[in-house]
Amino acid sequence: MSRRRLWPITIALGVVRCAGPFPQSTLAPRSDFGWAIDHLFTDIFWWAAGVFLVVEALLVVALIRFRHRAGKPAPKPTHGHTVMEIAWTLAPAVILVFVAVPTVRTIFTTSGEAPADALKVDVIGHQWWWEFRYPELGLVTANELHIPLGRAAQLSITSADVIHAFWAPPLGGKRDGIPGRVNRIAFRADSVGDYSGQCAEFCGASHANMRLRVVVDSDSGFGRWATVQLAGPATPAPGTLAERGKAIFARSACLGCHTIQGVSPGVIGPNLTHVGGRTTLAAGLFPNDSAHLASWIADAPSLKPGSLMTRMKPPLTDPDIAALVAYLQSLK
Amino acid sequence: MTSWITTTDHKRIGLLYFWTAFGFFLIGGLEALLIRLQLAQPNGHLVGAETYNQLFTMHGTTMVFLALMPLSASFFNYIVPLQIGARDVAFPRLNAFSYWVFLLGGLLLNASWLAGPLFHASQLNVAPDGGWFGYANLTERQFSPGPNIDFWLLGLQILGISSLAAGFNFIVTILNMRAPGMKMMRVPTFTWMTLVTQFLVITAFPVITVALAFLLFDRFFGTHFYVTQAGATPLLWQHLFWLFGHPEVYILILPAMGIVSEVLPTFARKPLFGYTVVVFSGVLIGFMGWGVWSHHMFSVGLGPIADSVFAGTTMLIAVPTGVKIFNWIATLWGGDIRGTTALHFAVGFIAMFIIGGLSGVTHASPPADLQQTDTYYVVAHIHYVLFGGTVLGLFAGMYYWWPKMTGRLLSEPLGKWHFWLTFVGMNVAFFPMHFIGLLGMPRRIYTYAPELGVARLNLVSTLGAILIGVAVLVFLWNVWRTRTHGRPAPNDPWGGATLEWSIPSPPPVYNFSVIPTVANRLPRWKTEHHEPMRDPPAVPPATIHVPGGSWWPLVAALGLPVLALAPLTHTLWLAFLGVAILLLGIYRWAFEPFEA
């Protein structure tokens, strides 16, 4: 009746575990939080695989052994067997104890409590981008979360509009960002890297386009990054295209939604003070290059359906867009 | 034609339920195919974000409320009165009302695909787009200004009325209309599971009715039940929705479990092993289904204590479920198993439900669930439960009871093709989803990046979905062919033990010429202590009262969609018209002359 699937699963799990090309795999953890979940899942998986094998084997044996054959006498009309009923009630119950105990233990070890020296970051979900605030450092960034390798991180997750869920699978499980509530996760990354993730709770038209990156820096790398972020925005040299871009930015609708420190006060969209230093655009959708940036400025809703950054009226001219691109890219 | 519209015969209503629900099943399947085609490759362009969100919302809503529940209902209608030796349900006109309300509610929901121009929307379709779970506060007017969510909540409110009316009807029927001698512990397992399901319906649907009423008030009258800016928590919706939603899962699966419990003994030529235990574990599942709702909310952050408690209750519910599976296998053990198509589907149910149940245990563990919830891993799980479980179980029921319901036997060779295509198709479609999810692809996304590395697995899954579509076409061909070429069915083509097999196929309008007296649990089988019962004579005595037809259930039902159109179109007089039609229908219904 049913194909034996256990070995393909094991092999597939093995391949998936060691292979690199799955940037959002939950099976290649890179933090203590991720590992705790992975160990628990592996335990439960083997229990489940064992039960699967036994029960499906019983089913297949019954089907083959007791199939209809000509001349077979009528089966004995058995109605039940009390001892067997008790046995197969208790057996799963006992197995579930072996699942439940490590589960409860892991619930408490992964409840979001962090050591006192943990780096605290406020994560705020927006339709459809992420805002990251570092209260101790006094800096604000978007869509790319940087954390140092040597310190635990504690994320306090909430939302500015509808429910979102912060999920960077290699670093651990997801937590919902719920308006009016704060949820915490804590983890200590175990290797430097650039990890991808995305919103996991359906949050409207562009839910699929609400991606994120978590960059785990070396401690010195994180220090350098923070220093850059804390500095004011770059000032374009006089006479350059970037300077014209800054002027256009300052007199268009851009400033209503975006902050560039000392230039514009908007808080509806992502903070752009150091947007040129980010690796991706539009919440992890595109590489941060001039072509993508230009088409994003020209018509964001066609790239991210429902985006609040509508086309400007009257539309920006191509030279204006080129100038804006030059300016934004200069904001390293 | 008129006689079908005014019918109050449970058998005709059962067939109406069947064909309507199967039509919606095809629509829901088409939506699923579009979803799979969109995801067959990364950065798919078949549909846009808005349309995709409508497709998965309507796929879920359609399959749960318009296909699986009413397909079960078609068997409740047709088979339950026959199994308990009754001539009809307790309230035949209420039964007709349930059907018409279901049909109209389903039409209203699906009208949203074409209703755009009525609302000056830029698109033709204004179908619901908030997910079948419709999480607040995304469904609030602020974030979903269009009529999409209105269609959804009004449609579901109407469907709830249908389910509640049917629920009360079947509880009264099963408790009061059993043939003499049919004590509760002699009631066939399918009827028992129907009874448990109906208790879940009448207790769970009021919860979603309240949740939807809050949403209705928020969207139309400016209340703040889920408005966070006014201090509300959107978690209120989640608690209410899943307090309904988890019992709803058992509303979907218990009838299929009942079907399997009928099919296995018939074709193994052996009584159901541990009948009492199977019945009581069904009842226990019904009770325990109320204590597990927060396992849908482990990522919400309810705190370690709540998470631990709900993990515990969720794992416990695996025990009675496992007990059922062991009893089914023990039923087959030592039997003389006839490999009919119905048996294939019933065994397929067991084999696939085991997988769905075991993956369920992996996300009963909250920390593990934090990596699984809202990913394709959970999509795999629910499809092993609801397709591998409910749909295979329903197909088992179709092959099993088709001769009773239509008088002809479906083709067995075509049935085997149907089974194997379905079985292979569903595993090709849904098994890779486990990996897609574990590799980090969230559900409900209309597009994904090639860098995710899941393109090939998604393509395989899409091919599986197409295979399922082919299987359904084979079934339809089988049905079409059987109309003219099917072997005429005798009273009892299978050698069944229960009362429905003691009367002609299809049964006469009065069902039983003489109401049978039941002496044991398997009245038509010879056991150690009993000889088989004598089937009722084919020629009825002269006077058998059967209820006549009535227009008024349909009229009363028509009032509801008219009433729903009032808020949809912001037209007050429609509300008065709807209420007037409803009251007229009920009034005339109540005072309808009692005639035979």
Instruction: Write the DSSP string, B110-168.
Output: HHTTT-GGGGT-SSS-----STTTT-TTTTSTTT--SSHHHHHHHHHHHHHHHHHHHHH
Q: Given B131, B361, B445, which is nearest A208 (Cβ)? A: B445
**Chain A residue with minimal CA distance to B332?**
A62
d(CA B408, CA A23): 55
**Is the pLDDT confidence value at A270 over 60?**
yes
Q: What is the CATH number of the domain that holds B239?
A: 1.20.210.10
> Which distant-in-sequence residues (6+ apart) come within 8 Å of B485 by Cβ?
B411
Residue B596 resides in a domain: yes
* Alpha helices (H) in A231-281, listed in sequence order: 241-251, 254-257
Residue A160 contacts B where some CB pair is shorter than 8 Å: no
Query: Do B200 and B328 belong to one domain?
Result: yes
Query: Do B486 and B573 belong to one domain?
Result: no
Residue B553 resides in a domain: no
**Is the pLDDT confidence value at B335 over 80?**
yes
B595 pLDDT tier (thresholds 50, 70, 90): low
Q: What is the mean pLDDT of chain B?
A: 95
Q: What is the mean pLDDT of chain A?
A: 91
**Is the pLDDT confidence value at B545 over 80?**
no
**Is the pLDDT confidence value at A19 over 60?**
no
Q: How many CA within 13 A on the CB side of residue A119?
A: 25
d(CA A41, CA A44): 5
Query: Do B227 and B314 belong to one domain?
Result: yes
Instruction: Encode pLDDT of B147-196 as tens digits.
Output: 999 999 999 999 999 999 999 999 999 999 999 999 999 999 999 999 99
**Chain B residue with minimal CA distance to A56?**
B351
Instruction: Encode pLDDT of A199-226 as tens digits.
Output: 999 999 999 999 999 999 999 999 999 9
A4 pLDDT tier (thresholds 50, 70, 90): very low
Domain count, chain B: 2
Residue A72 contacts B where some CB pair is shorter than 8 Å: yes
Model pLDDT, residue A18: 47
CATH number corresponding to A241-330: 2.60.40.420
Name the least confident of A7-21, A283-297, B292-306, B412-426.
Answer: A7-21
B532 DSSP assignment? P
Model pLDDT, residue A1: 34
Query: Do B261 and B398 belong to one domain?
Result: yes
Query: Do B280 and B366 belong to one domain?
Result: yes
Smallest Cα distance from B274 to chain A, Å: 4
More confident residue, B237 or B542: B237
Model pLDDT, residue A15: 52
Burial class (CB in 10 A: 0-12, 13-18, 19+), B5: middle
CATH number corresponding to A6-109: 1.10.287.90
Residues A91, A92, A93, A94, CA torsion sign: positive
Query: Do B454 and B585 belong to one domain?
Result: no
Query: Do B262 and B410 belong to one domain?
Result: yes
Domain residue ranges in chain A: 6-109, 119-230, 241-330
d(CA B367, CA B377): 15
Model pLDDT, residue B529: 79
Q: B69-83 vs B392-406: helix axis angle to the nearest 10? A: 50
**Is the pLDDT confidence value at A16 over 60?**
no
Query: Do B447 and B588 belong to one domain?
Result: no
pLDDT > 70 in chain B, percent: 99
Token output for B312? 């515990």
Question: What type of residue is B543?
Answer: T
What positions of B carry a catalytic annotation?
59, 88, 132, 162-163, 246, 248, 250, 261, 295-296, 321, 324, 443
First CA to last CA across chain A, in angstroms? 61
Residue B24 resides in a domain: yes
Model pLDDT, residue A314: 85
Number of H helices, E strands in chain B: 19, 2
User: Pick from B507, B527, B547: which residue ends a domain?
Assistant: B527
**Three-state DSSP string of B363-414:** HHCHHHHHHHCCEHHHHHHHHHHHHHHHHHHHHHHHHHHHHHHHCEECCHHH
Contacts of A77 in chain B (CB under 8 A): 270-271, 525, 527-528
Question: What is the CA A43 to chain-centroid distance, rounded?
Answer: 24
Q: Of A21, A184, A28, A211, whose CA–CA distance to A113 is shortest?
A: A184
Query: Do B444 and B500 belong to one domain?
Result: yes
Query: Do B435 and B492 belong to one domain?
Result: yes
A2 pLDDT tier (thresholds 50, 70, 90): very low
Model pLDDT, residue A9: 56
CATH number corresponding to A119-230: 2.60.40.420
**Backbone phi and psi for residue B257, each to the nearest 5 degrees, phi listed first:** -60, -40
Distances (CA, A) of B499 to A101, B80, B543: 48, 10, 22
Judge contact between B550 and B6, C-beta under 8 A: yes
Name the least confident of A195-209, B112-126, B324-338.
Answer: B112-126
Judge contact between A97 and B318, C-beta under 8 A: no
**Chain B residue with minimal CA distance to A102?**
B365
User: Pick from B473, B505, B527: which residue ends a domain?
Assistant: B527
Instruction: Encode pLDDT of A147-184 as tens digits.
Output: 999 899 999 999 999 999 999 999 999 999 999 999 99
Bridge pairing between strands A119-126 and A153-159:
parallel
**Is the pLDDT confidence value at A234 over 60?**
yes
Instruction: Encode pLDDT of B525-536 as tens digits.
Output: 987 778 888 888
Residue B544 resides in a domain: no
Q: Of B318, B423, B429, B338, whose CA–CA distance to B379 is shortest?
A: B429
Model pLDDT, residue A3: 40
Query: Do B442 and B579 belong to one domain?
Result: no
**Is the pLDDT confidence value at A245 over 80?**
yes
Query: Do B159 and B46 belong to one domain?
Result: yes
State the residue range of the domain holding B580: 558-596
pLDDT > 90 in chain B, percent: 93
Model pLDDT, residue A13: 56
CB < 8 Å from A in window 300-359 of B: 300-301, 303-304, 307-308, 311-312, 315-316, 318-319, 322-323, 325-327, 329-330, 332-339, 347-348, 350-352, 354-355, 358-359
